[in-house]
Amino acid sequence: MGSTQPLTPPDRDRALARLGRVTTGTGIGALLAVGGFSYVAAASYSGKHVTTSTVAPVASMATPSASATTDTATGAPIVVPTVAPAAAPTAPPVAVSGGS
Amino acid sequence: MNNSILWYATRGAGVVSLLLLTVVVLMGILAVLRFQTAGWPRFLSSALHRNLALLSIVFLVLHIVTAVVDPFTALGWNAVLIPFMSSYRRLWLGLGLVSLDLMLAIVATSLLRRFFGPQIWRLVHWLTYAAWPLALLHGIGTGSDTRFGWMVALNAACIAAVMLAIAFRLQSRFRKAPSRMLLAEVINQ
């Protein structure tokens, strides 16, 4: 395939210059490709968005209003006031990434 | 710096490393063609093969460094120096590290070829056939983009290209074999 004539020094110099240009071009192209693929990766999957919370278990907050019960001795209703739960502190959303 | 940027860069550099490695493997497999033209003498193909191999190592280092400094993974340097030491996705990261070690062995023996001799160099160079699929498996196993169409297409294209090149090389070897045998018979007579 192709010629098999020996290279002259100027031909060799030109070939080496071509090699340098191809290598440099590939390197720059690869660097740009890293940016491009990073962008595509971010657009495809930017990570899970989870919200963590320190709210007490649901069962303990089932009765936010006053609850009523009956005194077994008098039969009179006893109103047991319950305190509304304070605003539960919520942690800021955390972006979770993973893998490569 | 936003942690996610490191994660995106890790993924981008990983994809580019795989593509470069695939091109290097293809050039190595198709070296049997001995391609040359007036403007592209044969030695340029082997020189470009070497340069792109070194370039793929550079982008592999970028891939690894961005993964290690990403605080989410908390890999630590031990995990990227010793295979299967990571507590995070041990198997898949381990495969990637084995692939990296094989590639470093190939590059080292190529750069120091005069000290090792051609036989050892050739023997170590055959490890490429293990390093490339290990790198691919690493990407498929732990890559965050594996399930997306563009990454599926890229992986499929890489696999198809290497399979075709191997088939072509094997075919050209089988085609040459009878003529070699014939030549040997002529010489023996």
Residues B85-105 have pLDDT tens digits of 888 888 999 999 999 999 999
Q: Which residues of A touch B44 (CB under 8 A)?
A: 15, 18-19
Two structure tokens written together for A3: 């010629």
Element spanning B75, H or E: none
User: How many domains does one find in chain B?
Assistant: 1
Question: Which residue range(s) make up the domain with B127?
Answer: 3-188
Report B:55-114 residues touching A (Cβ under 8 A): 55, 58-59, 62-63, 67, 70, 72-73, 89
Residue A34 has its nearest CB partner, among B59, B67, B139, at: B59
Residue A8 contacts B, CB cutoff 8 Å: no
Q: What is the crossing angle of helices A9-44 and B42-69, to 10°? A: 30
Say if the ipTM goes beyond 0.95: no
Give residue-wise pLDDT tens across range B137-163: 999 999 999 999 999 999 999 999 999
Residue B16 contacts A, CB cutoff 8 Å: yes
Tell me how close the Cα of B23 comes to any Cα of chain A, in angstroms: 11
Is the whole-model pTM more than 0.90?
no
Is the pLDDT reported for residue A61 higher than 60? no
